[in-house]
Amino acid sequence: MAKATKVIRVDRLDQCANTGKQAALKAVVAEWRVQAQILANEQWFLWQYTGQCNKMHGRKYPDSPLGAARVQMCRHQVVGVIDGHLASLADQFKSMVAQSSLTTEQKHRLYRINKARAWQHRLPPTFKTAPFVDENDLRLARTLFRRLLKTHRKPSFRFINVVMDERAVKCAKASDSKVVDYWLTLPTLERDGRQFRKIAVPLKSNDFAEGRKGQRLTTWQMNLNKDGVLSFGRLTDVKKPFEQSVETYQVRTPVLALDWGMNTLFASSEGDLLGRGTLDKISALDKTICAIARGQQRHGLKPRDSARYCAKVSAMRGYLKTEVNRIFNRLVATRAPGHLVVEKLDFRNPNLSKRMNRLISNFGRGVIKDKLADLGSKYGITHEEVNPAYTSQECHNTACGYVDRRNRDGQQFQCRACGKQQHADVKAAKTLRHRCSDDALKPLHGRTAILDVLVRRYLERFDRPRWSALSRPRSRGAALDPRLSNPHFADWTAKARSLHGL
């Protein structure tokens, strides 16, 4: 992977412009979003027939109210959004192929097509080394990619923010004012001859933005949210400060695994229980959000048309984002991990409604991925995802490894084979840590394949059933050997009973 030339962070600065200036700026945002959709259609058409986007390709749009320079800025922004979307589709394509039942050779050929982003190609791309792809591989790649396109909509530009560089924006420090900190000069849509009329917008800074280390860029964001509130974002290149923090960062925990939950947001393999009580907070918001949604639907309205509904959803997302950032910052301060092992996240919880699970799922994954990427840039902390199948049922005792759904009872884990007890979430985190170095389980994606390996390993250690009365205490009517009533060991149980005439 190519090393990033810049690491960008954006700090929000509030504006205090008068009503007339705000109206002129909102008109710029509206026209920018219209132009962005036009340019997006143009780039998608180009990608469909050439296989790639091109920020230097396209019409000049001389009659656009934005002008040629701002249209070019908008095109660069649109191409960046589409490239990010295609990168996400490439990851999904790779995961889909990995979880399929295709042969290893077929998977390798599809990986090469995915790396070249040749999903839509009609002719096989040229590769210098094997494995080489043929038309059948391309046909299969097109089929899989079209399936992805049905479930992953193209990015919308209805609410895109404006990004303008020094060709349109000039910033100066307010030296004579005690109320504002900066004056930002930018063009409107009105023309004064051949030039656009410019206005100066007063901006208020904050301690967090002023304390940001790095090189201030001449590119600015202009943000307009759904409530019509206008704000600005100042871009800073923090590559050098992050490189210094990576050099000074001292690792105290080489590998730290994290198990996701709702009662406890994260449990670490070192025994930390972080974010306790999250489920109670989310459940309270869930009841309010569902009640508002039902009221809107009874009147034939969409839930998102309610300002109160949108405010509650925003509060839920804000709470979740704050908790995730707080927890990871605390782990860095207390544990100083060098490598993080996380489960492939599934934010659904049976105690929450379908609506809340849907709201949390995509947003929660995005927040955690963004935070992990930030920790990688700032401290050099690496991370990997591990399939969490049966981590809540498997005993992490290296001398045991028994897997049984009855091992876990709520937040308590007790192995029915060796008797080991521990907090269930902490135990699951320790199992994740062991799996990241397990060469047999690491490449597996299906639950059935993982279960087969776990069962086979246990039977290799303990093949004969335990019929003696020396086995661990049991309730009346329970089998001497827990495997005899465990559906995971059904084949072994049938064989054992037939051999012993039971």
124 — pLDDT class (breaks 50, 70, 90): confident
Are both 108 and 130 inside the same structural domain? yes
CA-CA distance, 14 to 205, in Å (whole number)? 7
Looking at residue 215, what is its pLDDT?
93
Residue 397 lies in a domain: no
Are both 273 and 299 inside the same structural domain? yes
Are both 369 and 427 inside the same structural domain? no
Residue 413 · residue 427 · CB < 8 Å: yes
Residues 6+ apart with CB under 8 A from 95: 445
For the cut 60, the answer to whether the pLDDT of residue 26 exceeds it is yes
219 — pLDDT class (breaks 50, 70, 90): very high
Of these ranges, 86-95, 98-107, 328-337, 364-373, the one predicted with the greatest mean pLDDT is: 328-337
Closest C-alpha among 240, 250, 247 to residue 338: 250
Q: Which of 241, 272, 298 delimits the end of a domain?
A: 241
CA-CA distance, 182 to 206, in Å (whole number)? 11
Longest CA span, the chain: 100
Burial class, 433, CB count within 10 angstroms (exposed 0-12 / middle 13-18 / buried 19+): buried
351 — pLDDT class (breaks 50, 70, 90): low
CA-CA distance, 329 to 334, in Å (whole number)? 9
Residue 396 lies in a domain: no
352 — pLDDT class (breaks 50, 70, 90): low
Looking at residue 462, what is its pLDDT?
82
Residue 31 lies in a domain: no
56 — pLDDT class (breaks 50, 70, 90): confident
Token code pair at residue 71? 């249209």
Are both 376 and 263 inside the same structural domain? yes
Looking at residue 346, what is its pLDDT?
63
475 — pLDDT class (breaks 50, 70, 90): very low
Closest C-alpha among 368, 345, 341 to residue 357: 345
Residue 391 lies in a domain: no
Are both 213 and 133 inside the same structural domain? no
Half-sphere exposure of 65 (CA within 13 A, CB side): 14
Q: What is the DSSP letter of 403?
A: B
Looking at residue 153, what is its pLDDT?
86
Residues 6+ apart with CB under 8 A from 492: 455, 459, 483
Q: What is the DSSP letter of 264?
A: E
Are both 273 and 361 inside the same structural domain? yes
In terms of residue numbers, what domain contains 468? 405-500
Of 118-127, 246-255, 473-482, the least confident: 473-482
Helix (H, G, I), strand (E, B) or coil at 184: strand
Q: Which of 327, 354, 386 delimits the end of a domain?
A: 386
Q: What is the CATH number of the domain that holds 300?
A: 3.30.420
Q: Which of 129, 151, 173 delimits the end of a domain?
A: 151
Give the number of domains in the chain: 4
Are both 340 and 233 inside the same structural domain? no
- If you average pLDDT over residues 264-286, what whole number do you get? 87
Residue 346 lies in a domain: yes
Looking at residue 473, what is its pLDDT?
47
Are both 139 and 192 inside the same structural domain? no
Are both 94 and 219 inside the same structural domain? no
Residue 30 lies in a domain: no
Residue by residue, DSSP assigns 193-212 as TTEEEEEEEEEE--HHHHT-
Closest C-alpha among 258, 289, 293 to residue 275: 258
Of 31-35, 42-46, 78-82, 466-470, the least confident: 466-470
User: Could you give the percent of the chain with pLDDT greater than 70?
Assistant: 93
Are both 379 and 308 inside the same structural domain? yes
Looking at residue 168, what is its pLDDT?
92
469 — pLDDT class (breaks 50, 70, 90): very low
Looking at residue 118, what is its pLDDT?
85
- Torsion sign across C-alpha atoms 484, 487, 491, 492: negative
Are both 369 and 264 inside the same structural domain? yes
Residue 70 · residue 168 · CB < 8 Å: yes
- If you average pLDDT over residues 251-270, what whole number do you get? 88
Residue 392 lies in a domain: no
Looking at residue 501, what is its pLDDT?
55
Residue 143 lies in a domain: yes
Are both 267 and 381 inside the same structural domain? yes
Residues 6+ apart with CB under 8 A from 220: 163, 164, 169, 171, 184, 186, 232, 233, 234, 235
Alpha helices in 335-470 (DSSP H): 354-379, 424-435, 447-461
Residues 6+ apart with CB under 8 A from 42: 58, 59
CA-CA distance, 262 to 424, in Å (whole number)? 13
Alpha helices in 51-189 (DSSP H): 68-98, 104-115, 135-151
Q: Average pLDDT of the chain?
A: 86
